[in-house]
Amino acid sequence: MEEGIVYESQYDDKDYERLLQDLIKYFQLDVTGYKQHRVRRRIDILMKKYSYKTYSDYMKDLRNDPKKWDEFLDKLTINVTEFFRNPEKWEYLQKNIIPMLMKENSSAFKAWSAGCSSGEEPYTLSIVFEEMRARNASILAADLDKFVLAKAQEGIYEERSTINMTTELKDRYFTKLADGKLQVKQLLKSRIKFKQLNLLTDPFEKNFDLIICRNVVIYFDNDAKEGLYKKFAEALRPNGVLFVGSTERIFNYREIGLKTIAPFFYQKEK
Ligand SMILES: C[S@@+](CC[C@H](N)C(=O)[O-])C[C@H]1O[C@@H](n2cnc3c(N)ncnc32)[C@H](O)[C@@H]1O
């Protein structure tokens, strides 16, 4: 439990422990690194919604009803995202960070959107690469939640998720469908590889020029966060850059071999 935060559940603690074990056993979902009071409060809200008396009853339904599982994962992880989230940061990335990185590696530039949710972030990066004519740049887009990954692969969005984009950019990279939704064009998809991956437990590929991990670690406890940033530092090439969310900060960045080069951008020391 995080320091100072106590959450009193109305449901049985032992039954909850069993639920956590079952999540690992049946769904390979290990939430040990997550802020436990948040996780449990969210699960309890769902328990109340369906008037379950025990977590075991809920687990039975989760195993039998894909819609319930979908909702469960959705509520637990919060997949909120949009294209060009915090546009000024993306502008900085495009104007300063990527050109600097490409001076050292323009032929096989490797980027990773870690915790990519329904795809808005990796497609934003793909748009940036297109705008920069960086045809050889590839993107790994990974998330724990296979439902958001399916949505990402489909690439169809409500107009409101493009609120930070100019009409010109939208026209260039989306096709408007009959129902008003926007479909990303194939040229944005071709450089992206989607993958289901648990940032807390799975091994990482190496040698990334750029890693983007934004608005993901807010759910993690301090140990998990520290461990993850260390793994990111190891996954970057020397001088590679880690781009974090606008409320996020790495306190021990020096210890793990990073330096700050601008707010929310950390560079791996040579
Ligand atoms: C709020 S979204 C952030 C999306 C995007 N990065 C952005 O900033 O707009 C957080 C995403 O992190 C994913 N996530 C949470 N825990 C994860 C884990 N352990 N491994 C991989 N992805 C995880 C969730 O499934 C969710 O899609």
What is the residue extent of each domain of the chain? 13-77, 87-268
Q: What ligand 1 atom has the least distance to the C-alpha of 212?
A: 6
Superfamily of domain 87-268: Vaccinia Virus protein VP39 (3.40.50.150)
Give 266's strand partners. Answer: 242, 260
Task: For the chain, give the mean pLDDT.
Answer: 93
Ligand 1: which residues within 6 Å by Cβ? Answer: 77-81, 85, 115, 117, 121, 143-145, 148, 197-200, 214-216, 219, 245
Closest C-alpha to 118, from 152, 85, 142, 84: 152
**Strand-pair category, 156-157 with 138-143:** unpaired
Give the residue whose CA is nearest to atom 3 of ligand 1: 215
Q: How far is the CA of 103 from the centre of ligand 1 (A)?
A: 30
Predicted TM-score (pTM) of the model is 0.86
Instruction: Write the pLDDT tens digit of every residue in 94-126.
Output: 999 999 999 999 889 999 999 999 999 999 999
Closest C-alpha to 239, from 109, 127, 135: 109
Q: How far is the CA of 115 from the centre of ligand 1 (A)?
A: 4
Provide DSSP, 187-219.
HHHTTEEEEE--TTTS-----EEEEEE-SSGGG
Cβ burial of 259 (10 Å; 0-12, 13-18, 19+) is exposed
pLDDT given at position 268: 98
Residues 6+ apart with CB under 8 A from 259: 253, 266, 267, 269
